[in-house]
Copies of this chain bind each other. A is one copy, B any other.
Amino acid sequence: MRGRMTKHDTPSYMPDFNPGEVIIGFGVSKVVDSTHQDFKVGDLVWGMTGWEEYSLISNPQFFFKINHPEIPLSHYTGILGMPGFTAYLGFHEIAAPKQGEYVFVSAAAGAVGQLVGQFAKLMGCYVVGSVGSDEKVELLKKKFGFDNAFNYKKESDLNQALQRFFPEGIDIYFENVGGATLEAVLQNMRLHGRIAACGMISQYNLVEPEGIRNIFQIVEKRIRMEGFLVTDHFAKYYKFEEMTAQYIKEGKITYMEDIAEGLENAPSALIGLFEGRNLGKQVVVVSRE
């Protein structure tokens, strides 16, 4: 969403927002009228919708039915929606983990990161997350079951921090932040490591992004670095929904939300993401029915 608020010279995977337009993003809705054969009045759905009470969806290409309404509906903006599906795709499909591998997740307390760590533990991997506060460090270790976690703001040398937590090196890096973190990770990757590149939030607000000076590590260690986006993989969504809904009902996955009430609080909630104010998935309740 942040990316779409900057004007780009070249087309991005999502068009730029224009001032005055309704902001759009992923949300949960109930169908109140429909002429589409796949969606009936009363259906609960999630997908790309407006920051508004009623939206007219002319092309429901990015809409999915909610098959587990017994789970809190807000979860379909997170663990069962785009962030959850992102964690699953990046970790299981892109990074192709093996039991016992060493996994590092940045922005690990976020909606995606907290799930990647839990998927990694369910696969029998060792997982460490980096976050921006001591409170989040405790959260990862005590609540989400990470093997370890650290506050990157307290580390004067990220390279040394990674050496401390990964004396054997890193097999899989789930990339959410970019910049200096990516550079330190490349230095600590193992042979044949994989980087699932989901986002690079540290760079989005910079006019001149930081340069990555050790990209040669990709050659040296035969690393595969791959960007991905859920919209390329929607065919796998319902398979993911079933798997993850079962994990939730069996209590094998813990999930946290940070809920802002009212559309009027949406801008400050969005800005809060860049200040690290949220704990877990930031949800905005536009309307409770």
Hey, which bits of chain A sit against chain B, CB under 8 A? Answer: 12-13, 175, 178, 182, 191-192, 197-200, 203, 208-216, 218-229, 232
Report whether A225 and B222 are in contact in the complex, using a CB–CB cutoff of 8 Å.
no
Q: Majority SS of interface residues in chain A?
A: loop
Report whether B209 and A197 are in contact in the complex, using a CB–CB cutoff of 8 Å.
no
Taken together as a complex, chains A and B put the C-alpha atoms of A13 and B222 apart, in Å, by 10
**B198, B210, B224, B232: the one within 8 Å of A213 (CB):** B210
**CB of A185 to closest CB in B, whole Å:** 12
Report whether A227 and B232 are in contact in the complex, using a CB–CB cutoff of 8 Å.
no
Report whether A221 and B216 are in contact in the complex, using a CB–CB cutoff of 8 Å.
no
**B182, B197, B219, B227: the one within 8 Å of A200 (CB):** B219
Report whether A216 and B224 are in contact in the complex, using a CB–CB cutoff of 8 Å.
no
Report whether A208 and B213 are in contact in the complex, using a CB–CB cutoff of 8 Å.
yes
Which chain B positions have C-beta within 8 A of A175? 219
Report whether A221 and B227 are in contact in the complex, using a CB–CB cutoff of 8 Å.
yes
Which chain B positions have C-beta within 8 A of A203? 216
Taken together as a complex, chains A and B put the C-alpha atoms of A221 and B197 apart, in Å, by 11
Report whether B216 and A222 are in contact in the complex, using a CB–CB cutoff of 8 Å.
no
**CB of A188 to closest CB in B, whole Å:** 9
Taken together as a complex, chains A and B put the C-alpha atoms of A215 and B175 apart, in Å, by 12
Report whether B218 and A209 are in contact in the complex, using a CB–CB cutoff of 8 Å.
no
**CB of A163 to closest CB in B, whole Å:** 10
Report whether A222 and B227 are in contact in the complex, using a CB–CB cutoff of 8 Å.
yes
**CB of A146 to closest CB in B, whole Å:** 24
**B13, B210, B224: the one within 8 Å of A211 (CB):** B210
Nearest-CB residue, chain B, relative to A192: B232
Which chain B positions have C-beta within 8 A of A222? 13, 226-229, 232
